[in-house]
Amino acid sequence: MNDPKTILVIGTYDTKDGELNYICERITSQGGQVLTMDVSVLGDPQNATDISKHDVAAAAESSIQAAIDSGNENYAMQIMAQGAANMSASLYAQSRFDGVLILGGSMGTDLALDVCNALPLGVPKYIVSTVAFSPLIPTERMAADTQMILWAGGLYGLSSVCKSALSQAAGAVLGAARAVERPAPDRPLIGITSLGTSALKYIVALKPALEERGFDVAVFHATGMGGRAFESMAANGEFACVFDFCTQELGNYVHGSRVSSGAGRLTGAGLSGTPQIVAPGCYDLVDIPGWDALPAKWANHKSHAHNRLITSIVLNEAEVCENARAHCAALAQAKGPTALILPELGCGEWDRPEADLHNPQGLSSFLKTLDENLPENVQLQSIPAHINDPAFVDAALAIFDTWLADGSVAKP
């Protein structure tokens, strides 16, 4: 290859030296290069790595001796996790590598999640783990573009089964590093949250209208990890403006669903000063895994089985009021222009008068609670329309065009 890519290979080289060296050999045999990082604590690798365990601990403002003296494996690994994350971010900023592969069991996976979160969206991130896809891994720990591969047969040395998993991982991360086009739009980027058009339809008219105005538009599926990606980019100031029109993930978090994008939902754009137009799409629903047993707390609630993966629970009056207060608390943190559009006739296709999840009392209570608790920094616009009506898109574009005209949003 004319432009060989370098993969950062991280692991405990004292106990997994053979497996990690096998990964490195697979990468170099395919024309790639490797940068090795040891995150061991007690032992030492047979051969020196590019970044030693002492370098890693120092990057966490600690030492290997401090990790050992703690006598606590969890505390020791957290030192190494912090150091590995700090070191990886620094090395990437110096253009020292193009993708990362981290190998581990539960301890190494815990560390790997921190490393991946320290790197920007678009950097190939592969975790080869004995607990890949396990419920042990909470979604809020996952960087939005992390790839995981199950380390089948991954204990105590190499085997043909183990090599199959490791060789695939080596090829995957190198291929991704060669093929990736990192987000670098040639036009200002707008971020929009939505669901599929069976629930929210505004995107059909809104996206082309914004593209006609000269903007690149990215639409994020608000089902947990989509919101994680959206919030990550918003917090980094990567959007010229956001249209955050599906805030259901905030309610999912408030009410304890595992379909969550974390505690920071509806804050990234505000804290970075990014102009944001917000509407509470599907505020009245909490998504739960459709394949899981129904938690007792939802036993007396209406529900809608969207498919075999997702079931939507209809919140009661007290619960939607709690959502309204959570919206206000998040928006109060905003440092940039913030507008909230309230569609008075409903915020999701399933809550129209003829639909099976229609809940007029819940909508009335939600809107009233929002109005009573709305922070002063938020521009409020109530419209006598449903969120899926053309009037909603017209209202959003009118606010956006005003911000374009007054310079709140930079013109393309």
pLDDT tens digits for 189-247? 999 999 999 899 999 999 999 999 999 999 999 998 899 889 989 998 999 999 999 99
DSSP sequence for 212-254: HTT-EEEEEE-SSHHHHHHHHHHHTT--SEEEEEE-HHHHHHH
Q: Are residues 143 and 202 in the same domain?
A: no
Within 8 A by CB and 6+ apart from 162, the residues are: 19, 151, 152, 153, 154
Q: Is residue 133 part of a domain?
A: yes
Q: Are residues 164 and 240 in the same domain?
A: no
Q: From residue 168, how far is each of 9, 234, 384 by CA, in Å?
A: 14, 33, 55
Torsions phi, psi for 220 (to 5 deg):
-110, 130
Q: Are residues 346 and 225 in the same domain?
A: yes
Is residue 286 within 8 Å of 257, Cβ to Cβ?
yes
- The predicted-structure confidence for 17-57, as pLDDT tens digits, reads as follows 999 999 999 999 999 999 999 999 999 999 999 999 999 99
Q: Are residues 11 and 135 in the same domain?
A: yes
pLDDT of 303 reads 87
Overall domain count for the chain: 2
Q: Name the pairing type of β-strands 338-343 and 276-281.
A: parallel
Q: Are residues 198 and 336 in the same domain?
A: yes
CATH number of 156's domain: 3.40.50.12020
Q: Is residue 411 part of a domain?
A: no
CATH number of 332's domain: 3.40.50.12030
Q: Which of 128, 158, 179 is the last residue of a domain?
A: 179
Q: Name the pairing type of β-strands 310-314 and 303-305.
A: antiparallel
Q: Are residues 105 and 204 in the same domain?
A: no
Q: Is residue 184 part of a domain?
A: no
Q: Are residues 141 and 205 in the same domain?
A: no
Helix (H) or strand (E) holding 379: strand 378-383
pLDDT of 2 reads 66
pLDDT of 1 reads 54
Encode the chain (412 residues) as per-residue pLDDT tens digits: 567 999 999 999 999 999 999 999 999 999 999 999 999 999 999 999 999 999 999 999 999 999 999 999 999 999 999 999 999 999 999 999 999 999 999 999 999 999 999 999 899 999 999 999 887 888 778 888 899 999 988 778 889 999 999 999 999 999 999 999 887 668 999 999 999 998 999 999 999 999 999 999 999 999 988 998 899 899 989 999 999 999 999 999 999 998 888 899 999 999 999 999 999 999 999 999 988 888 999 999 988 888 899 999 999 999 999 999 999 999 999 999 999 999 999 999 988 888 888 889 999 999 999 999 999 999 999 999 999 999 999 999 999 999 999 999 999 9
pLDDT of 105 reads 92
Q: Which of 119, 145, 179 is the last residue of a domain?
A: 179
Q: Are residues 153 and 226 in the same domain?
A: no
Q: Is residue 339 part of a domain?
A: yes
Q: Are residues 275 and 376 in the same domain?
A: yes
Domain that includes residue 309, residue range: 189-406
Q: Which of 126, 154, 179 is the last residue of a domain?
A: 179
**Among 86, 77, 15, which Cα is nearest to 44's?**
15
- The residue type found at 199 is A
Q: Is residue 162 part of a domain?
A: yes
Question: Edge-to-edge strands of the sheet including 189-194?
Answer: 216-221, 189-194, 241-246, 276-281, 338-343, 378-383
CA distance 320 to 348: 14
